[in-house]
Structure 1
Amino acid sequence: MKRRTYLVTAAGAVALAGCAGSDTDSDDENEDDPNDDTPEDHGGDGPDDETGTFDDFEDLEYWFTKQGTMSADEDRSAVGSQSVKLEASMSDRGVMISRTFDSPQDFSEMVPGMAVASEVELNPIIQLSDDSGDRIEYRGRVDPDLPLIRYNFGVSKIVGDPTLSEITSIQITTWTGTEKERTFWCDDLYFVPRLETGTVLVQFDYGYETTYTEGYSVLEEYDVPATAFVNTDYVGNDDRMDLGQLEELHDDGWTIASQSATTADLTESDDPAAQIQSGVEWLEENGFEDGADYFAYPLGRFDEAAVDAVESHHDLGFANGYGVGGEITNTQLCPRVGNPDVDDAEQLLERTAEMNGLTTIYYTELDDDRLDSFEETMATLSEMESDGDLEVVLPSDVEEKYVF
C-alpha cells in the first residue's frame, strides 16, 4: 500500500465538520490573530515518539496565555488532581494558550486529542505549528454539560506547509468572535497513532428507502461496503426500508445497525436507555446481531445519560465530528462527517489518504443534489481504493483494529 509523506495545503481551507452549521466558533482570524505573534520560549520536552497522555496539566508553567485567561481548577479533572480552565471575556475574540518546545518535535505519525468539558457546544482546536509559523489544526466537537472526557479530534485546517516532523509549538484555542463569553476546561492532552493506510467508513442514517433504491446500486458497482443505521420502530414505514430490503443489504455484506427505536432526541428523553435497548432487541430478533454492537445518535444529539446508555449496549457509537483522525480513544463518540458536498468530500478523501487518517462519511436521504454528490464521491473513493491509497472498512474493523 502506498505511503505518502506530503500534506494537502490549503491556507484558509473550509473546516470539515460533522454537519453544516454545527460549529459555534468563529473561524475568522483577522490581523489580530495571536498566531501572528512570535511565541515566547517556555521550553519543555516533546512526546519522544510516544502516544498516550502528553500533558495532564498538573503543572501549568510550560503554558502561557495569548488570548483570554488560564487558571488551574482543582475541582474538575480527568486525570491527576486538576484541569486547566480557559475563559474568554466579552472583549476577547477567543481564548488561546500556547506551549513551545526546547527542540523541534516529530508529530508526523500522531494525532492529538484532549479531554474537554464546556458550558455550551464547542469546537476546540489543537494547533501544531512549525518554526515558520505554518500549522495544522485539529478539532473536536464538544456538547455541553458532559463530564470532562476524552474527545477524538480530526484535521479541520492546514495553513501553509507545516513540517509535522519539526513542530516547535502547540496551541489550544477556541474562537468566539466579539461580545461572547466562553468557559471550558481541558485535561489529558494526548496523542494516538495514525493508521497504516488511510481508512474510510461509509454510512447511512435513518433507514431511508433511498439507501436501498439509490445508494445500494452505486456501492454494489464499486464493491464498497457500508453501514445502514435504522430507527427500528420505523422499518417498513413510508419512505423507510422494509425488512426484506435490509436483509438483502445484510446478505450482501452491509452492517445493519441501530439509530435507536425512533428519531427522538435522546437528550429530551426520560429514558434514553429504553429507546436504545429497544433498537438492540429488534436487531437481534431479526437476524442482525452483528450490527447490534454499533449505534448512531439520532439528530446527532447526546448528553451524559445517552452516552452512558450507548456504552452499556454498544461497542461503538457515532456522532458528528471531524474526519482525518487517528485511532479511536472515545469509542462512544466516534466522529463522522455528514452529507459532504463534492469538493469537501474530495478534500477529506485526499487528506485521509495522504495523512493515513480515519474518516467516516455518512448520508441521510439521497435526493437530487445529494445523490449527485454521493455518486461522485463514491467514484472517487473507489478509484483511490483501487490505487491502494485508501481502505474502506466497516465498524467491526474499526473495533478490531483501530481502537487505542
Structure 2
Amino acid sequence: MKQSSTRRKLLATLGTTSVAALTGCSGSGTTGNTESSPTETTTKRSSKNQTQTSTKTPQSRDAPYSRGELVEDFEDFENARWGTIGGTISSDGSNPYAGSQSLRLENKNGDVAGIFKSFPDGLDLTKNDLSIAVKMEKPARGKFSAEVIAPARSDMLASNRFLVKELDGWVRIDLGYTGRQGDPILKEVQELRLMVLTPEGEPIKVWIDDLRVIPKPDRGAVMFHFDDNVASQYDVAFKELQERKWPGAVSIIPDTVNSEGRLTTGQMREMRDAGWDMMSHPHQPKPFPAYSPEKQREELKRAKRYLELKGFPDGARHFVAPYNRLSTETVEILKEVGYETGFSFGACPNNALQPSGMYTISRVQGTDPRGVRRLLNIAEAFNQLVVVYFHSIGQSDSDTSMNDFMNILDHVEKKDIDVITPSQLIDKK
C-alpha cells in the first residue's frame, strides 16, 4: 500500500484533477497541475495539419477505429511482456472493444489496478499521442491514469482523464498530458504505465483495449468555450478576444436567448460574423442521462434546429453537455441526430489533430488560472489541445473574476499555440 500511496501523491503533484464539484449548468472541476513550464515564445498562430496514418483496423461491435498504429491489442496479453502494478489482471473474451478480447483490471479492495510495459528500443511519441479504449464499471466515476517514463521516472509525463459515471460503455480517450516532471524525451519512452487509482476500499473494475499511437500536429492549440450565453460573454469575453483577433465559442441555451442577462440574437450574429461558433447546449432541470432516449433525442433535435434556423449552421454541429454529464446512450443519439462533436468535462488535454472520442472531447475549467496555465505550457511543448470553459466573467457574482480571465488570456499570448473553434477543429481551416 505504501508504494501505491506514493504513486498517488506523485500523480497528484503531476496533475491529478479535482472532481468534487461537478454541479451547476455545466459542472465544475479544476484543471491539473504540473511541475515545470517550457520556455515561452511569442510567435503567433497559424493552423497546421498533418496527414493521418492508418494501419490495422480493429473489428468492433460499434464503429471500427483505424487511426494511427496499433501498440497493443491485448489479444495475447499473457505473452506480451506486460507487468502488473496492482490488482488482478485478466483477459476477457466476453467484453471486447476490438478483436476477440479486452483486458480487465480489478481490485476488490481498491487502491490501484494497472499494468506496465518497458520498451528497450524506445517508443517514439515525438509525432504521436497515445489513445486507448476504456470501459469503467467501478469506480462509478473516476480517473484513468497513465505515466510515460521518458527515459526515467525523473523525466516523465502523467495523464489523468476523468470519466463521468453515465459513460459506462466503451469510451475512446486520448491520454492528454496533465503533468510533467524533469525533461521528458519522447523519442525514447522506456516505460508506459496504465492504471486506475481509488481510495483504499473503493473497488476497481475496468476494461481496456486497443492501445494506439495517433498522429498529432506540429503545434498545440487552445479553444475557449463560454457556457450559457451570459451577457458578460459579449461585454467582456468577446471584446477581449476581438482585440487579440481570436475566435471563441458560446454554448447556447435556446430558451434563454434575448432574456435579461443573456445574449441577444443580434449579439450572437455579430460574434458569428467574427468567426465564433454558437454551439448547442440544451438545458433541462436534470442531466441528460436522467431522461428517456426519446426525450434526449427531442431536445437535441430542437436545439440543433433552433441554431440552424437562426443562422448558426456551423455551430449547430457541436454539442456541449449540460452539467458536463452525458451517457453512452447520449453519444449514440448525438451521432443519430447529426452532431459532429460533443464536449464535456474530462480534466485533460486532447489530441489536437482529431480527438479520439469526438463526442467526449475533454474540457477543463477556467476558474483555476494556475492550472490552466500549466496545461497550456504542456500543450505548447507537446502539441496537444486544451479546451477551457467559462461561465460569467468579470461581474461581482461571476464564476471567473476579470483578473483570472485576463491572466489566462495574457498567458496564451505568450504561447506558440493556435486559438481555434470547434468548427476549425473539424473543418481544418
> Could you say which TM-score interval applies, normalised by the shorter chain?
0.7 to 0.9
**Of the candidates 287, 310, 332, which is equivalent to residue 308 of structure 1?**
332
Q: 2:267 & 2:123 partners in 1: Cα distance?
A: 52
Identify the range of structure 1 (268-277 vs 96-105) with the bigger mean alpha-carbon deviation: 96-105
- Deviation per CA, 1:75-126, whole angstroms, max 9, x where unpaired? 1011111111101232x52112111123222222221121111121121112
Aligned runs of 1:32-43 on 2, under 5 Å?
A: none
Look up the SS of the partner of 1:214 in the other structure: helix
Q: 2:197 & 2:16 partners in 1: Cα distance?
A: 16
Q: 1:375 to 1:72 in 2, by over 3 A?
A: same
Residue of structure 2 equivalent to 1:206: 228
Q: 1:87 & 1:11 partners in 2: Cα distance?
A: 20
**Of the candidates 88, 107, 132, which is equivalent to residue 125 of structure 2?**
107
Structure 1 residue 232, shift from structure 2 partner? 0.8
Query: Could you tell me whether the CA contact under 8 Å between 1:98 and 1:170 is conserved in 2?
Result: yes
Residue of structure 1 equivalent to 2:346: 321
Residue of structure 1 equivalent to 2:298: 274
Q: 1:307 & 1:342 partners in 2: Cα distance?
A: 30
Query: Could you tell me whether the CA contact under 8 Å between 1:19 and 1:338 is conserved in 2?
Result: no
Q: 1:19 & 1:203 partners in 2: Cα distance?
A: 19
Q: 2:240 & 2:148 partners in 1: Cα distance?
A: 39
Aligned residues between the structures = 365
Q: 1:286 to 1:261 in 2, by over 3 A?
A: farther
Aligned runs of 1:218-297 on 2, under 5 Å?
A: 218-260=240-282, 262=284, 264-270=286-292, 271-297=295-321
Structure 1 residue 21, shift from structure 2 partner? 4.7
Structure 1 residue 361, shift from structure 2 partner? 0.9
Q: 1:352 & 1:64 partners in 2: Cα distance?
A: 30
Query: Could you tell me whether the CA contact under 8 Å between 2:350 and 2:361 is conserved in 1?
Result: no
Look up the SS of the partner of 1:204 in the other structure: strand
Identify the range of structure 1 (59-68 vs 226-235) with the bigger mean alpha-carbon deviation: 59-68
Residue of structure 2 equivalent to 1:15: 15
Residue of structure 2 equivalent to 1:374: 405
Look up the SS of the partner of 2:263 in the other structure: coil
Are 2:86 and 1:67 equivalent residues in the alignment?
Answer: yes
- Deviation per CA, 1:319-358, whole angstroms, max 9, x where unpaired? 1124443231211111111224221122122211111111
Q: Say what the alpha-carbon RMSD is for the aligned residues.
A: 2.5
Q: 1:300 to 1:283 in 2, by over 3 A?
A: same
- Deviation per CA, 1:257-291, whole angstroms, max 9, x where unpaired? 11125464101112211111110110011111121
Residue of structure 2 equivalent to 1:397: 424
Query: Could you tell me whether the CA contact under 8 Å between 2:74 and 2:101 is conserved in 1?
Result: yes
Q: 1:66 & 1:114 partners in 2: Cα distance?
A: 18
Structure 1 residue 153, shift from structure 2 partner? 2.7
**Of the candidates 89, 94, 98, which is equivalent to residue 79 of structure 1?**
98
Residue of structure 1 equivalent to 2:69: 52
**Of the candidates 104, 108, 122, which is equivalent to residue 142 of structure 2?**
122
Q: 1:290 to 1:284 in 2, by over 3 A?
A: same
**Of the candidates 202, 218, 230, which is equivalent to residue 196 of structure 1?**
218
Look up the SS of the partner of 1:279 in the other structure: helix
Structure 1 residue 391, shift from structure 2 partner? 1.0
Look up the SS of the partner of 1:169 in the other structure: strand
Query: Could you tell me whether the CA contact under 8 Å between 2:349 and 2:362 is conserved in 1?
Result: no
Identify the range of structure 1 (126-135 vs 392-401) with the bigger mean alpha-carbon deviation: 126-135
Q: 1:187 & 1:249 partners in 2: Cα distance?
A: 42
Look up the SS of the partner of 2:177 in the other structure: strand
Structure 1 residue 365, shift from structure 2 partner? 1.6
Q: Give the AA of the match of 2:174.
A: N
Q: 2:11 & 2:84 partners in 1: Cα distance?
A: 25
Residue of structure 2 equivalent to 1:36: none
Q: 1:102 to 1:16 in 2, by over 3 A?
A: closer
Look up the SS of the partner of 2:358 in the other structure: coil
Q: 1:52 & 1:122 partners in 2: Cα distance?
A: 27
Query: Could you tell me whether the CA contact under 8 Å between 1:16 and 1:337 is conserved in 2?
Result: no
Query: Could you tell me whether the CA contact under 8 Å between 2:16 and 2:160 is conserved in 1?
Result: no
Structure 1 residue 175, shift from structure 2 partner? 1.2
Q: Give the AA of the match of 1:136.
A: L
Identify the range of structure 1 (249-258 vs 131-140) with the bigger mean alpha-carbon deviation: 131-140
Q: 2:418 & 2:348 partners in 1: Cα distance?
A: 15
Structure 1 residue 154, shift from structure 2 partner? 1.1
* TM-score normalised by the chain length of structure 2: 0.79
Query: Could you tell me whether the CA contact under 8 Å between 1:18 and 1:336 is conserved in 2?
Result: no
Q: 1:218 & 1:342 partners in 2: Cα distance?
A: 16
Residue of structure 1 equivalent to 2:162: 141
Query: Could you tell me whether the CA contact under 8 Å between 2:229 and 2:251 is conserved in 1?
Result: yes
Q: 1:245 to 1:401 in 2, by over 3 A?
A: closer
Query: Could you tell me whether the CA contact under 8 Å between 1:79 and 1:188 is conserved in 2?
Result: yes
Query: Could you tell me whether the CA contact under 8 Å between 2:349 and 2:363 is conserved in 1?
Result: no
- Deviation per CA, 1:184-218, whole angstroms, max 9, x where unpaired? 11011112222211111111111111111221211
Q: Give the AA of the match of 1:107.
A: L
Q: 1:52 & 1:320 partners in 2: Cα distance?
A: 27
Q: 1:99 & 1:243 partners in 2: Cα distance?
A: 54
Query: Could you tell me whether the CA contact under 8 Å between 2:144 and 2:195 is conserved in 1?
Result: yes
Look up the SS of the partner of 1:376 in the other structure: helix
Look up the SS of the partner of 2:401 in the other structure: helix
Q: Give the AA of the match of 1:174.
A: V
Q: 1:14 & 1:234 partners in 2: Cα distance?
A: 40
Structure 2: gaps of 5 or more residues: 1-9, 23-27, 33-54, 56-66
Structure 1 residue 19, shift from structure 2 partner? 6.0
